[in-house]
A and B are shown apart, each in its own frame.
Chain A
Amino acid sequence: MADDISSLRRILKSCKTIAVVGLSAEWHRPSFFAAKYMQQHGYRIVPVNPKYPEILGETSYVRLEDIPFPVDMVDVFRREADVPPIARSAVAIGAKCLWQQLGVKSAEADAIARAAGLESVMDRCVKIEHARLFGGLHWAGVNTNVVSSRRLV
């Protein structure tokens, strides 16, 4: 599992297309907050939720396997028990990273992803980590644990 600043930076710099499994279309839900934030910071968001045809101006797919173009990261907003099959799908579609959101920590899914050579992140919010490591979260007074003599790039 990747959990240190340099690994998280590498993942967030290399993954530009993010499939968000369990993305809600309701504006006040955490998944919508996170996806909208990432979209505004230059990432392509691909919703995966059978309940909606479209979220955030992007077509929503029923399953990861239905997405007709390459996906870098699979970001999961689902209950822990639902994650292992999603991890297998992430491997099957050739994603580079499985990211389990804050509060989601399936060790089985983590093992599936890492065994297939994917990066794996657990129990972290993609928005909060991006804001922590590339600027923004600091302005909310949050302890980012970043100590550095270089400007943010």
Chain B
Amino acid sequence: MPDRRFRPETLAIHAGQIPDAATGARALPIYQTTSFVFDSADHAASLFNLQTFGNVYSRLSNPTVAALEERVAALEGGRAAVAAASGMAAEAMALMTLLQAGDHVVAAGALYGGTVTMLAVNLRKFGIETTFVDATDPAAFAAAIRPSTRAVYAETLGNPSVVVLDIAAIADVAHAHGLPLVVDNTVPSPALCNPIAHGADIVVHSATKYLAGHGTTLGGVVVESGKFPWDNGKFPGMTEPSPGYHGVKFYETFGDFGFSMRCRMETLRVYGATLSPMSAWQILQGVETLPLRMERHCANAQAVAQFLQADKRVAWVNYPGLPDHPQHALLMRQMSGASGLLAFGVAAGAGGSSATALQRGIRFIESAQFMSHLVNIGDTRTLISHPASTTHRQLDEAQQRAAGVLPDMIRISVGLEHIDDILWDIDQALAAAVA
């Protein structure tokens, strides 16, 4: 019987979890244990040599965490995944596995502020340089590539700029230079976009956001496509004996999931930013309803964007789901929806200055009744924030503008409340803002 290709709605519920072998438990058990017994000294040796698959210590792998890893890999159409304690931990794991001192990264400028800081400050401390380029310009990516470049990095839908990445075009540039394209797919989630299908090689997620969806739990995931040719001469860490894991050659031994094994056995094992089983379980409760929730996030955000676009108290709206958005056609080509994130600026009013617009924006945020002023996204609740003074505060104004953050920008992560109530809260907060 040919294998069935299951749809995302089915994978979101079943992938990575069959009934527990020991007990028959249908729902996923929480394996809250640090360690796992060996059957014999030989079994222990085989596990440490990676000659057999199994659990040793929960810093490396855990059955509850594995269910989340396989499920996200399946939803992304990837070969394998490794979970981490947060989205930033996942990103750090992917980059620290790929890169070493002397390497160079070409990254989109329109990125989450924490990612800009990781690349521009933290990785630089270890001798890894990053050049930031315009996310919408494939030629700029190509021009910035050097002989020492080892990764191209971008977000599929920038946070908070909602810049749409032309994944196939940037993947072509990366592949022409023998480089993997690493993308953060947090904002669309795998329900709206599968970057691997468009050529991405490694996908990272903050599972804290739409994957979990409930705003209770931090987590991250790195997904590997299984298609990148690591033996192209640029990645000796994948093909030569690993000094960090007694001589294993990860690509030769594990083939199309070699990068994931190396993430796990070299980086996660040593740096230890592991996801807890309890957190993995909580995130999985959200993942089961991901496709359903994303439909409503998109519908609500679309309605909010249209409402703001038609309102004279609003200076500008940025939501690629709007048909007149310059990247709308690109979005529709690679994603089944524009997700729940949008940005806008409150109008300064007749004769008002940019300082007035900023003041009004802050009054808007402070006047909301149930929309929450905080810096998360992808919650059931509608969330609002002012990126220039919060998530992107560590960047100077030039870096902020490169990241797509304008001084008067208000970010909304549109939640799952009734759309009439969301529009009511926006309307009354706007009234207070311009009063």
- Listed in ascending order, the chain A residues whose CB lies under 8 Å from chain B are 4-6, 27-28, 30, 32-33, 36-37, 40-41, 102-103, 125, 128, 131, 135-152
Contact = CB atoms under 8 A, between A and B. Distances in A.
Contact of B15 (A32, A135, A140, A147): A147
A40 B52 CA distance: 8
B16 A138 contact: yes
Interface residues of B, number: 50
Contacts, number: 110
A82 B264 CA distance: 36
B19 A149 contact: yes
A136 B53 contact: yes
Contacts of A138: 16, 66, 70
Contacts of B79: 142-143
Main DSSP-derived SS at the B contact region:
loop
16 contacts: A28-B247, A32-B51, A33-B49, A33-B50, A36-B46, A37-B52, A102-B255, A128-B255, A138-B70, A139-B54, A140-B80, A142-B260, A143-B74, A148-B14, A149-B19, A150-B19
A145 B18 contact: no
A42 to B, nearest CB: 12
A131 B260 contact: no
Contact of A141 (B2, B21, B26, B81): B81
A147 B253 contact: no
A34 to B, nearest CB: 9
Interface stretch (B3-11, B106-114, B402-410): B3-11
B220 interface: no
Interface of B: 1-4, 6, 10-11, 14-16, 18-21, 24, 26, 42-43, 46, 49-55, 61, 63, 66, 69-70, 73-74, 78-83, 241, 247-249, 252-253, 255, 257, 260-261, 264
Nearest to A147: B14
Given A40-B43, A150-B19, A142 B253 contact: no
Of the candidates A36, A103, A128, A141, the one having the most CB atoms from chain B within 10 angstroms of its own CB is A141
Nearest to A152: B21
B422 to A, nearest CB: 36
A19 to B, nearest CB: 20
A143 B80 contact: yes
